[in-house]
Amino acid sequence: MRRLRPRLAVVSTVVRVVAVVPTYCEVDNLEQLVKELRVAVPNIGILIVDDNSPDGTAALARKLAAEHGSIDLLARPSKQGLGSAYRAGFRQAIEAGADVCVQIDADLSHDAADLPALLANIEHGADLAIGSRYVPGGATERWPWHRRWLSRWGNRYAAGVLGLAVNDATAGYRAYRVGALQAMEYDTVSAEGYGFQIEMPYRLVRRGGRVVEVPIHFVDRVRGTSKMSGRSVAEALGLVTWWAARDRLFGWRRRA
């Protein structure tokens, strides 16, 4: 059955939106992503943050930049993790004048057609709009049961112990207002994998930021391999438990 989903137009053309796309071995996915982003939001800037992928992703990024324009490549010497890639990407995008930074995976799990809905929420006052699998209308497709279970219960655990009213805090599809990123001092977030995804809304909400979740259908990657690791899950579990304990046991008053 065809899903009914609002396709909202981006209201303003003066808001500078930059999609920060971290890549590690995404040579089979990147071109399609770039094309779909430009169909969804024609004037979007794209910043590809590549960690010296051995499959030639950076060379493809350079070719796409020459063909399509308004595409930048931040080429880093080695694989340094997702959180670090986003911090470096946000920094560069903000220095270049972005008003809104988008997070999107390169593996086509996130549908670029959902982006106007995320951006419309930012334009209407949200500091962070999350493409969420776990609100009514959201879904996960082609994921094995154990990934689904881990993601669903990991999110329930984080929301429960942190008192964070976000259903999908590990989601990788987001739009941030740049002022909110700066106010929450995003560049001092130290987590790398899922911990990074959770720490960002956790900090933002503690500092009075407004989060909105927009339903999306997440589809497991068809090409390339997942970089999800047990280490990233363990890091997130440890950090969330530590933040919750710190908040409760020690009556932590300092801003997260």
Site residues (vs ligand GTP, CB under 6 A): 22-24, 26, 49-51, 79-82, 85, 105-107, 109, 172, 221, 226-228
Of 135 and 228, the one with the shorter C-beta distance to Mg ion is 228
Cβ–Cβ under 8 Å, residues 10 and 119: yes
Residue 51 contact partner, candidates Mg ion, ligand GTP, none, CB within 5 to 8 A by sort of partner: ligand GTP
Among 84, 103, 109, 167, binds Mg ion (CB under 5 A): 109
Instruction: Tell me the residue number closest to ligand GTP, measured at CB.
Output: 226
26 binds, among Mg ion, ligand GTP, none (CB under 5 to 8 A by kind): ligand GTP
Contact in structure between 46 and 160 (CB atoms under 8 Å): no
107 contributes a contact to Mg ion by CB under 5 A: yes
CA 28 – CA 107 distance, rounded (Å): 9
Partnered with residue 211 across adjacent β-strands are 128
- 88/98 with CB nearer ligand GTP: 88
Least separation in angstroms between CB 37 and ligand GTP: 13
Q: What is the 3-state secondary structure (H, E, C) of 5-36?
A: CCCCCCCCCCCCEEEEEEECCCCCCHHHHHHH
Is 105 a residue that touches Mg ion (CB under 5 A)?
yes
Residue 83 beta carbon to ligand GTP: minimum distance, rounded to whole angstroms: 9
Q: Which amino acid appears at position 134 of this protein? A: Y
Tell me the closest approach of the beta carbon of residue 224 to Mg ion, in angstroms. 9
Cβ-proximal residues to 221 (8 Å cutoff; 6+ apart), any chain: 29, 107, 108, 109
Q: Which is nearer to ligand GTP, 144 or 251 (CB)?
A: 144
Tokens 């932590």 belong to which residue? 252
Q: Which of 86, 109, 108, 93 is nearest to 197 (CA)?
A: 86
Contact between 151 and Mg ion by CB under 5 A: the answer reads: no
Of 17-25, 107-115, 155-163, 198-206: span binding Mg ion (CB under 5 A): 107-115
Whole-angstrom distance, CA of residue 66 vs CA of residue 117: 29
Nearer Cβ to Mg ion (109/121): 109
Identify the three-state secondary structure at position 211: strand
Binding-site ranges for Mg ion (CB under 5 A): 105, 107, 109
